[in-house]
Chains A and B, each alone.
Chain A
Amino acid sequence: MSLWLVLAVNSITLGGLLFLLSAGFSLIFGLMKIPNLTHGSFFMLGAYLATSLIARGFNFWTAALVGGLLVAALGGIVERLILRRLAGAELAQVLVTLGLSFMIADVCLMVWTGDPIRIDTPAGLRGATSVMGLGFPTYRLAISLIAVIFAAALWALLDRTRLGAMIRAGVDDPAMARVVGIRVSRLFTIVFCLGAWLAGFAGVIGGPILSVYPGLDGEMLPLALVVVILGGTGSLVGSLVGSFVVGFLYNFGQAMFPELAYVVLFLPMLIVLVVRPQGLFGRQTV
């Protein structure tokens, strides 16, 4: 009984981390139709930057915000200089984002060396909280809360603000949006920066659980892809639900079907895609 409870709660907490990881990817792909394969590298870079900031005395949360900002700046440069001229050229986007991920990974190896780096759980969230008689890591519970807050904030941004309306207009019909006076190109840069910021921020938030090490980018990217695909592209709610679904699949799948541990995420994803190619909550056909 307690095993199932632990798994259930962990599904939610892991789902929270997965949402933070994949929200950025979902945003960029859903709105700009760019498969940003540099996403994993942004995640890892944010985490590495935070380790240096924390070593210099910054507080964990500040490091998370600032780390995210630095990654966002990089994302902005990438978008303006390179991705802007590749609208619609899917293969070129794949090539350039993968090429950038090689470059970022190698730079991280040069700067931070190959040793794994540990990030301390922020003070105040250490230890365990008792839920129904069992202890759960407090920090992980906090992550779920943060994820929900961000989901709400992003939804509010896109649905309730003028900026969000402009972004959605720019996505639905860029030509008309420009005619109406919306600076579509600038909006796309903003969206890309926001997506990159989310990735870097998620990297830092995930740090106390995952630590930071070479290869983290390659481990996280497939997870983000699975979440976005299962939940459905172009839908933030889809990503949120997708994250929790993946969290459940991961926890219960690994515990109950250890034989299938390697395929516990990809097999369900395959089944969903074959049956319903647009994902569980996707509105548009892919």
Chain B
Amino acid sequence: MSVRVSRRSFLVGTALAATLPVPALAQGKPVRIGLLTVKTGPLAQGGIQMEQGTIRFLKDRNYTLAGRKVDLVVADTGGNPAGTKTKTQELVERDNVDMIFGPLAAFELLAITDYTAQAKTPVLSLAAAEDMTQRRPNPYFVRASATSAQSMHPLADYAAKELRFKRVVTISEDFAFGHEQMGGFHRVFEDAGGRVVKKLWPPLVTPDYTPYLAQISGVDAVVQGFAGSNPLKFMKQYQDQGLKLPVLSGSVGCDDALLKSFGDEAIGVISCSAYTADLDTPSNKRLVEGMVRDYGNIPGIYAAGLYINGMVAEAALEKTGGKTDDKEALIKALRAVSLTDTPRGPFRFDHLGNVIGNFYIRRCERKGDKLANTTIKTYPNVSQFWTYDEKWFLAQPVYSRDFPPVKS
């Protein structure tokens, strides 16, 4: 027996329905963010900080972005490319994340970039591999931190023009991140009139740097780009060897979060980074206070970088009205983000997805019983191409161990 709906009840029903709040199905589903990080093994130091920064941000926003709840899925890649690929597949296929934060290392990112581009999943990473936003760009990639050389260009400029160094030796680990950092420094330093006399490349795993330290002489300064736990080892052995030359460091070598592990050997080191803990913006103050309260240490580039990724995601979601179904619109919104009050100051993205923002030159000093980096100069609006023309820059080979070559 069919139920006959009388026209009257139909009209009444519709009128009633119109007055009731419509359940917003789109807003019911949470935004899923996947975090690829390293929680075991030698890279765990940075990876754990990445997770801390992400959680700090989500707590600050009450796990709600643009009106939608946020689900964070944390995946431990183990610090190797195959593990990263597997975890990325897990995030994309099993957990259906809307965007991915991380991964940590350049070799991890390179293993997954083709896959995530195919899946059209936006990736917001700190990994500094240059070509990700240069010669092999991934259209779904956003980098709010820096390329490997992006923080070394200003450092070289500062070293040549203000510190007036003429001859330097560079020393960094023998892998892509080290090559790209030192390559960037090399080019700008020599264009400003300086000379890189020698480039030393100790292997990634080097217990004793003495064979390299013994080769440092006849220069004004030493430029290092060590990462992970190596800066600690290096600076201690540098001091023990009796070397007194000024040390210039890449962003990771004198990272704010690492300062608590250093002793007096770090005093006087001048570094350049996208993030500095003493930056006086409201959001940075909130971040630093929150990190000290929750984890007992000030943030460095890993934690701050992920906090900033969160802010970028939030701004993009506000632009798309909280929607994440349209991937093209989401990545467009992500790349269009331009913020002023962030832990790293104002920034925006270039058309390849890489950040254009402030970079800070800091000197490490002792303040009471703690070490701290004090900002001594700010370079505004630094892009990945420095002051070079983009087309010219991209036509050159990527920075590598032998490029730019050491002039004999």
Contacts and interface: CB of A to CB of B under 8 A. Distances in A.
A10 interface: yes
Interface in B317-358: none
A254 B233 contact: no
A255 B210 CA distance: 9
- Of listed A3, A114, A117, A208, residue having the most chain B CB within 10 A: A114
A209 B211 contact: no
Interface in B136-180: 174
Interface string B236-279: 11001110000000000000011011110000000000000000
Contacts of A262: 174, 203
Contacts of A114: 44-48
A251 B210 contact: yes
Interface string A244-268: 0000001110110010011000000
A116 B45 contact: yes
A203 to B, nearest CB: 12
Interface in A182-226: 208-211, 213-215, 218-220, 223
- Of listed A211, A220, A252, residue having the most chain B CB within 10 A: A211
A87 interface: no
Interface stretch (A30-38, A70-78, A91-99, A135-143): A135-143
A196 B87 CA distance: 37
A116 B261 contact: yes
Contacts of B205: 219
A109 B47 CA distance: 12
Contact of A254 (B41, B202, B228, B232): B202
A218 B241 CA distance: 26
Given A135-B242, A210-B233, A3 B202 contact: no
A104 interface: no
B225 to A, nearest CB: 17
Contacts of A213: 42, 45, 228-229, 232
B208 A211 contact: no
B214 A116 contact: no
- Of listed B214, B233, B258, residue having the most chain A CB within 10 A: B214
B201 A258 contact: yes
A82 to B, nearest CB: 23
Nearest to A208: B236
A3 B263 contact: no
Contacts of B258: 115-116
Interface band, chain B = 35 or more
B236 A255 contact: no
Nearest to A252: B211
Interface string A86-118: 000000000000000000001001000111111
A254 B214 CA distance: 11
Contact of B203 (A139, A140, A261): A261
A223 B203 CA distance: 14
A142 to B, nearest CB: 12
A255 B41 contact: no
B260 A137 contact: no
A172 interface: no
Given A109-B40, A113-B48, A213-B232, A118 B263 contact: yes
Nearest to A259: B201
Interface in B58-93: none
B211 A254 contact: yes
B13 interface: no
B241 A137 contact: yes
Contacts of A215: 41-42, 229
B41 A214 contact: yes
B115 interface: no
B242 A117 contact: no
Nearest to A206: B207
Interface in B212-229: 212, 214-215, 228-229
A128 interface: yes
B261 A117 contact: yes
A251 B237 CA distance: 14
A213 B236 CA distance: 14
Contacts of A120: 263
A227 interface: no
Given A3-B215, A250-B208, A262-B174, 10 more contacts: A106-B40, A113-B45, A114-B48, A209-B236, A211-B229, A213-B42, A215-B229, A254-B211, A255-B212, A261-B174
25 contacts: A7-B210, A7-B211, A10-B208, A10-B214, A14-B208, A113-B45, A114-B45, A114-B48, A117-B261, A118-B232, A118-B236, A118-B263, A128-B242, A140-B240, A209-B236, A209-B240, A213-B42, A213-B232, A214-B229, A215-B42, A251-B211, A252-B211, A254-B202, A255-B215, A258-B200
The 8 closest A-B pairs by CB, nearest first: A215-B42, A213-B229, A116-B229, A114-B44, A114-B45, A254-B211, A137-B240, A6-B214
